[in-house]
Structure 1
Amino acid sequence: MIKKINFATVLLLFVSVNIAFAQFQVPTNYLPGSNMNQPNAVNKPIGNSKVTKREIINTSNQKNELDSLVNQRQSDALTNQSIEEDSIKKAKITLQNKIFGFSIFNKKAGTFETNLKMATPKNYILGPDDELIVDINGYSEEHYNLTVSADGYVKINKVGNVYVAGLTIDEARNRLIYKLSSIYIGLKKFNGRTDINGLYASVSLGNIRTIQVSVVGEVQFPGTYSVPSLARVMNVLYLAGGPTENGTFRDVQLIRHNKVLAHLDLYDFITQGFSKGDISVQDQDIIKIGLYKSRIEVKGRVKRSAFFEPLPTENLAFIFENFVGGFTENAYKDLLKVERITKTERKLIDINYAIANSFYPADGDIITAESITENRYENRVTLSGEVFRPGTFSLDSKLTLSNLIKRAGGVKENAFLARVNINRLNKDFTPGIMSVNLADVLSGKAEDVMLEREDKITVFSITELRESYTVTIHGEINGVKENLDKKTAIGDTKTKQQENGNNAQNESSSEISDKLKSDNISNVLLNRQVKITIPFQTNMTVEDLIIKAGGLRESASTGFVEVVRRKKNEFVENQDYSSSQIAEVYKFSISKDLIVDNSASKFVLNPFDEVFVRSSPNYELQQFITLQGQVLFPGVYGLEKKDDRLSDLIKRAGGLNKQAYPEGAKLIRKTELSESESELKKKQIKDFNDNYSGIEINNASESSESNHETIGINLVAALAQPGGPDDIQIINGDVINIPREPQTVKITGEVLYPNNVKFTESKSLGSYISSAGGYTSSSARKRVYVIYSNGSVKRAKNFLFMRFYPRVERGSEIIVPKKLKSANTSQQIVSLVSVLTGTVTSIIGIITLIKATAQ
């Protein structure tokens, strides 16, 4: 019984151990996206050799391990993304980005994949799941795909099992040919040859197995990885994410059978591409990355700023040449600043790069390469101003001012040679200035000046040292300026300074301000006059100025030209300056065609002269009026004379037709109000409303800058007596409207039913208002007025206690204004009652007092 219990216990323990081993087996696989893990595929022979494409064989367990690893990596990526928002994580990432070589293993793009198409290495060790491809050719042909079993055997028909595990590919080839020679007689060796009888065999490696390699130490993703048996150390290291920020890049160790088999220096691989130590890995190999031993930082004006991990035998020159990449172009190489950590504090070391071969950095050193001094030259002088080639020049030995001027191509014609400034720094770097007569220096009358470093020489222009000379022309000119920007509208044109250095600008504008313009007939010619200012030129005449201004208009008067010249009063001792004259005015005539001949004027302009070209006295622009309504020929008519009247226009239009109603003729005229006049009119309306707050003026429209008004005319009287007082003169823009004979009268305003009623000759104004329902309670009866069809207005008048209303005619409009209730009427009533009550009380008191006194 005890034996049975012990046997059951042992059996249960064995089963538990197997289950625990299956549960705690370490996942072994590698990163996704690689070609190294592919599902099994059917081998397809290629050509006569029957060579198949090499693939990796994965079991179902390996596939599950791969999926679990992928999921874990994705989960870690999401976790890291959220942690990166933390300040500590950000600082860590910043450090990682500054470590030299760290980004190679952490870039999203690019992989280190195993080359599956490479020739099989002669030292390749066969193991389980490897596939051997055997081809027999000659008088007998056969093809074998042999997979190494878990026990290390390959099975060949008619030959049996052949043990190949642990053999190199060459050893396995010899053993397989030897075994196959038992059924293929011709494969037996004859003096070392296998094709003596026309029969030979080839053995190659097909699908390769997956091996287990562990990565430990300071690595991003430590663990055990399933990789192809052709993988090398760099392939596995890339799958593990490379070293951490504390890991070493200089000593990656490959451990096999508890011994360090190879050392890999990643700096050699990164900087020079050397793969020494990057050997093929085998099953159960261990790759170890230890902690870095020394790290320095190089920054500043260098080609590669980063944290580097130098070896004790590498000096500063070696580090700069191989790792840093050297200095940038503007680096100051004579001085490198080294910040070193001592046992108790920090200290600074100044190193000249010339001794970099003997300087070995210590752990924690911060090496800074500074920039040269910007904008500072050891041999520079600057020449500016009126020379042909201004700029900066090198200060050669014994460079003088005259030599510098010659090197710059000489001075320009407009250079001011009497005084040239040299700005020079004193010994204490305070600015100083010295003046030189360049004309004397160039002619040899004065001693030449020796130049010094950072001297700044300025040659001035004659035009810069005087006021900008201009001349101005006003009046009847076309306004197209010579060589100016014609795309710019007149009135807002400005051009650049002329090449001679004159600061004067070519400006064109209107003769008068836009705010002062009006459409009055007397101002039409004045409004279009032009004012142009152009730079002054020596010996310029009036005709020259007119040509530059675009020529004369047709309206210009050439017989009356004025030039207004500034009055210059030079100081003379004991001279009387009390004269009131402020300018000199010259009047003369010029040629209409502006031809240069004996008839041309010889008047030469001075700077700042103002030239005026007037309009011809009899020159007028066409003026038009509009005639509407009941005439034989309505339309637009041009005025023939300045004093054309109503009767003249009606006569030119053929007279009135039979339907005309001359009593209702209107004259509509455009009025121009300036801003001040408009404000005054608004103020008058406001004052009127304030003074007569009980009445609302319905037809009072606010004034504007441009408006039309109707003028009441008596066309019947004008036609009956041409030239009489009612026959008024007409002007440009007038509109005369002669209506048909109206049959109604219009009643509007504060009546019960505003409408149009039939005109009756004997009907009074009150009767018309009764036809509209009569007054309302808010009617201002005293303010009733009538607008007649010709535009005239009449209102009701009061005399003593009698009220006289205006007569109503055909086409009239009767307007009854609205009487507004005062907002303080109730307060006025209360105040009046209070005053009356107080007065009555006072009177009663006085009477009582008188009676009491009388008794």
Structure 2
Amino acid sequence: MRTSLLFAALLLLTIGAPAPAQVVGDPVDPSRGLGAGRDTLGVAVPAVRPEPARTPSARRMSSSLDPALLLDAAVDRGTYFVGPGDVLAISVLGAANLFYELSVTPEGALVVPTVGVIPILGLTLEETEARVRERFLDYYRNVEVRVTLSQVRTFKIFVVGDVPDPGPRVASSVTRVSELVPDTVALSQRNVVLQRAGGDTLQVDLTRFRHTGDTRFNPTVREGDTILVPGVDETVAVYGRVFFPGVYEFRPGETLSDLLQVANGNFGFPSDAHDEVRVSRFITPDERDFLVFTRDQATGAEGGAFVLQPFDAIYVPAVSNYKLQKTATITGEVVHPGTYPIRPDTTSILDLIEMAGGFTAEASLVSARLRRSHADSVRPATAQLEQVPLEIMTEEERQIYRIRQQADERNVVIDFEKLVGAGEDVHDIRVQHGDSLLVPEQRAGVTVLGAVLLPGIVAFEPGRSIEAYVDLAGGYSERADQEDVVVLKAKLETQLDREDVRALDPGDTIVVPFEEDKDWLAIFNTTSGVVGSILGIILAYIAATR
């Protein structure tokens, strides 16, 4: 009977074994195939034709493109279940030296030359090796038998439910659920159901896997599995200072400590998170109750016993300015420009200058300026006015616009000449975090720009008028707009109209604008557009209030 079974197995191998058996021993001419021969114990081995070499892309379709068919870690021999399509390498060493690379049949068996058919369906790789070793020891003595996984199998599973394209998917024995379910906010990620062919059901939490890397919440699939993706309904939320704030799907039975672990990704709370954790819970459709935990309570036994309910919200405030290094920057004509630590309540302007080594000989104290970083440089009203042509502004709007354009509201008014001369902070101004002090180089002259014949720097002379400087710059050009001449003061870069200038100082700039022809068509079109927009708003309001 054993002889008949052995002969039948060998015959099956001869006519259609999925992977040829190779006996390590005498060299074989590859062009002739494996001829009939005997192994080291004299057992006959049938002749088999060599299978054409298959490239990895042919053996594993699209493996280079589909991550679901790639390994993410070494195969665990104790948990990997062997199935149809797996390719196993069997090596026998000792009194007999044999090597076989065989595919598991669709029935879940190995057909091994000289040994026969070995059923292995449902066994792990470790259990498969034990069974194959046991069978070989029936025929050979003093041999070591090892079974390794040479190639993982591919198969078909189904993804159904609230997914864009429900239906079959190609997977392998190392594919995880996350590789088959789209990572989309609109789809369920925390209540995915994995139904095994044998009837077992696993609850899959892909969000927890992606935040923590815990593969227990992202198992591998098997033949016959069905992945069910439900729709998103009830939610819980985590706000504030956690690593992954946001709205999460409600997961029945989840506790406060569980969700905080998901929201922090196993990293613990951020260092600037407050020690208080608040939970807001609806006790009626309109009324809420608030519960307060410390961080240790929320992540400990108390939080582990606090089961969340749908639409709970968790709030973790942040500690303001946590370990913030407060600094100010000084640039330009100082000995050591750079950024320096400050104490906003005690560090003065003179302290900052002293830390920078003091002014250089070329420093312009008149033009030096301190600028705050937190002041808004552009007000909403100014931004709106910038969209309106000057020609259609009211007189009040023009005044506001000009005031905003003439000065930078981040500048702090300081007389550095008086400050340095007195040797003490006569202004009693303290440096704030983010302040920047710019000390430009001295300029000996007054710059004349714009519609003049010889624009450039003119030597400064006390008491000299704007007209005198313009004359020294060659005089006005033909297109000069003499009525709108402005002066940019070196101190704080303030812009003044010519009639507002009391005296010119070194470093000041005189700007003579060019006359421009007004584009009345553009003005008309802009005005029509503004009026049309206002009319549209009025009509929409009237229609809505009827």
Give the TM-score, by structure 2 length: 0.45
* Structure showing greater Rg: 1
Give the TM-score, by structure 1 length: 0.30
- Larger RCO of the pair (alpha carbons < 8 Å, separation 6+): 2
